[in-house]
Amino acid sequence: MEELVGVSANVIGDMATRPNFGLNELDFVFSTLVVGSIVNFVLMYLLAPTSAAAGAVSSSLPPFVFAPGHYSATARVATLFTKGFAFAAVGFAAGLAGTAISNGLIALRKRMDPGFETNNKAPPTVLNALTWAAHMGVSANVRYQTVNGLEFLMAGVLPPAGFKATVVVLRCLNNLLGGMTFVMLARLTGSQKVEDKEKGERERLILVSREEGDRDGDGRRAAEE
């Protein structure tokens, strides 16, 4: 369900933030789809309550920042940074693997179809991975803490059916927001840089006008001779 709902909502949020609903940047959207799928799977695996995970984390820390219980403010802040570090590490590793996979598949498509061209330059693997690390460590981490806190509040005041429906809506909105914030961050870091087509068109027109001017000049000189 996390892969189906989470990744779908994430990609929709990603595309909604791009011009023309991302249709001119499908190469970047594909990269987000691949990395997002890896991130969601790994995080769900790591966050599952297993004995191994429980032994790796001190019992003095809450499972998330707003978890009910008698935890100190220091412990809650430590949880925020601990989870943030784990999220950033997953984001970086998934960013490396996912970007390499998506870029490799696009390169393979170009080899099989020499006429195929992407609209934009492929995102740099390391820079895109660092962008994913920052996104997961800050944006995803804060949203994860907030969503879990809200869910515990709703569990105490809503009937089971209403609680489950609200959780679905809340998590869909969370992933939509995640897709949108990643695009903004990727633009800021330059990991997904859109080619300036207007600038390229202006340069092409200037070059054409110069060539036409040169031809006119050559024609006038030939006529004078």
Q: How far apart are CA 131 and CA 94, in angstroms?
A: 11
Q: At what angle do helices 26-47 and 8-17 cross, to 10 degrees?
A: 140
Question: Nearest CA to 13 among 42, 5, 149?
Answer: 5
- Does residue 190 come out as left (phi exceeding 0), alpha (psi in the -120 to 50 range) or beta? left
Decide: helix, strand or coil at residue 88: helix
What pLDDT sits at residue 13?
93
Are 13 and 180 contacting, i.e. CB atoms less than 8 angstroms apart? yes
Q: Give the CA diameter of the chain.
A: 97
pLDDT means over runs of 10, the chain (225 residues): 83 91 87 90 74 53 87 92 93 94 90 83 92 96 93 91 92 93 94 65 54 58 56
> Residue 69: how many CA atoms within 13 Å on its side-chain side?
14
Q: How far apart are CA 32 and CA 11, in angstroms?
A: 7
- What dihedral angle (degrees, nearest 10) is formed by the CA atoms of 93, 132, 41, 118? -100
What pLDDT sits at residue 69?
85
What pLDDT sits at residue 117?
80
Instruction: Give the Cβ contact number of residue 196 at 10 Å.
Output: 10
pLDDT in tens, 112-128: 888 888 878 889 999 99
The residues, any chain, with a CB within 8 Å of residue 170's CB and separated by 6 or more, are 147, 150, 151
Q: At what angle do helices 125-134 and 26-47 cross, to 10 degrees?
A: 50
**Token pair in block for residue 97:** 């693997």
Q: How far apart are CA 86 and CA 95, in angstroms?
A: 14
